[in-house]
């Protein structure tokens, strides 16, 4: 009886530790309603609403034969800050479908953008109609 209780307690503990609430994920998911923000020959930028009035951003950079960089950001338009949530290099041999833990929107570190690339991301998200559309959906 005690063994069954300990096993059940262990199972509940490990499940709660490793479970990740997809609604709070800082990484863009397939079921997120994404909007294209920018696109050219080598770069694609998508955005989707996130919890707490934040915006998730996924950026792809084509590196030719070396693969594709995939970067996930979370942008806070109220403060003008963003956070890098994930970075991967996707290749034909390693498509990046591993089981790494995904950060939540509460666990990422926000910073004030300094380099032009980060400033552009923040301005594209916060200065676009996407920000007003997300605000309208929340209200």
Using DSSP's 3-state secondary structure scheme, residue 118 falls into helix
Q: For residue 29, tell me if it sits in a domain.
A: yes
Q: For residue 90, tell me if it sits in a domain.
A: yes
Q: How far lies 103's CA from each of 4, 27, 100, 129, in Å?
A: 33, 7, 9, 27
The total of structural domains in the chain comes to 1
Q: For residue 89, tell me if it sits in a domain.
A: yes
Q: For residue 96, tell me if it sits in a domain.
A: yes
Q: How confident is the model at residue 102 (pLDDT cuts 50, 70, 90)?
A: confident
Domain hosting residue 59, numbered range:
25-138
pLDDT of residue 95: 60
Whole-structure pTM value = 0.71
Q: For residue 8, tell me if it sits in a domain.
A: no
Q: Tell me the C-alpha distance between 78 and 101, whole Å.
A: 27
Q: For residue 1, tell me if it sits in a domain.
A: no
Percent with pLDDT over 70 in the chain: 70
pLDDT of residue 97: 56
């Amino acid at each position: 009886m005690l063994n069954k209780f300990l096993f059940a307690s262990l199972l509940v503990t490990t499940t709660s530790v490793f479970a990740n609430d997809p609604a709070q994920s800082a990484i863009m998911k397939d079921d997120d309603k994404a909007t294209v923000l920018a696109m050219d020959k080598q770069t694609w930028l998508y955005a989707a609403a996130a919890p707490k009035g934040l915006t998730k951003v996924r950026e792809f950079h084509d590196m030719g034969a070396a693969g594709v960089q995939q970067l996930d950001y979370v942008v806070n338009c109220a403060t003008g800050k963003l956070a890098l949530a994930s970075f991967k290099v996707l290749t034909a041999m390693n498509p990046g479908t591993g089981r790494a833990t995904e950060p939540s929107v509460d666990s990422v570190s926000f910073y004030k953008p300094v380099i032009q690339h980060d400033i552009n991301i923040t301005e594209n998200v916060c200065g676009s109609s996407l920000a007003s559309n997300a605000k309208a959906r929340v209200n």
